[in-house]
Amino acid sequence: MPTVLVTGASRGIGREFVLQYRKAGWRVIATCRDPGGAGLKNSDAFELDVSDPVSIKNVANILAGDPIDLLINNAGIHLAKHANFGNLDYDAWDEVMWINVLAPLRVAECFAPHVALSDRKQMVFVSSIMGSIENNSGGMPIYRSSKAALNQAVRSVAPELRSKGITSLLIHPGWVRTDMGGPNAAIDAQTSVRGMRETIEGLTLAMAGTYVNYDGNPIPW
């Protein structure tokens, strides 16, 4: 059975990835800041704070030599307060860039050897349509710029990953009813994750570094 590692597995979309892949019989390595509090305690649940390089390296070291077929960089934040022009919170911006851009790349670097050891060799980065420059109707510069930067960073490392046989993908989960998406969002986490799993299942090396919706349709950069 393949192995998947998920960041931000405590709630929302990450939590649903864990439930669905477990149900499908995969080995699921669930990582989050507080596995006990999230009810995720088992031998494949690890404490991992993506903002902390030591925390990432610790888990990568514990799992050294373990193949990871699919790495899902899901953890992310959206700090909505003081996020509009004239009232921008630069400390919040700094934090969002750390969690949404630097952290997933650091996780990818630390776990690349594990992914390279596996059969499937896939890295998925949960982005957002909010990162699209072409589709931008304005507003939310902090969150949008973080996901645009994530897109650019992943697109930039995709050829290097591809040379190791690793396929990377940037995926928009849809507007999803989670703490982040809110109660009025368009779809539930089950529908989003079911769609993303199908898209990931059909992933080929030729699609490395592409930016798609949860249903697999391309999103303009």
Ligand X SMILES: NC(=O)c1ccc[n+]([C@@H]2O[C@H](COP(=O)([O-])OP(=O)(O)OC[C@H]3O[C@@H](n4cnc5c(N)ncnc54)[C@H](OP(=O)(O)O)[C@@H]3O)[C@@H](O)[C@H]2O)c1
Residues binding ligand X (CB under 6 A): 7-8, 10-14, 32-33, 49-51, 74-78, 99, 126, 128, 172-173, 175-176, 178-181, 185
Distance of closest approach, residue 122 Cβ to ligand X, in angstroms: 17
Give CA–CA dist 66/212, Å, rounded. Answer: 29
- What's 169's DSSP letter? E
Distance of closest approach, residue 119 Cβ to ligand X, in angstroms: 26
Distance of closest approach, residue 151 Cβ to ligand X, in angstroms: 12
What length is written for the chain? 221
Is residue 154 helix, strand or coil? helix
Beta-strand pair 3-6/70-73: parallel
* Comparison of 94 and 205: residue with beta carbon closer to ligand X: 94
Q: Is 160 exposed, middle or buried (0-12, 13-18, 19+ CB in 10 A)?
A: exposed
* Comparison of 57 and 164: residue with beta carbon closer to ligand X: 57
Q: Are 205 and 190 in contact (CB under 8 A)?
A: no
* Comparison of 104 and 161: residue with beta carbon closer to ligand X: 104
Distance of closest approach, residue 82 Cβ to ligand X, in angstroms: 18
Is residue 214 helix, strand or coil? coil
Give CA–CA dist 215/181, Å, rounded. Answer: 18
* Comparison of 11 and 117: residue with beta carbon closer to ligand X: 11
Distance of closest approach, residue 200 Cβ to ligand X, in angstroms: 14
Q: In angstroms, how far apart are the furthest CA atoms of the chain? A: 52
* Comparison of 86 and 183: residue with beta carbon closer to ligand X: 183
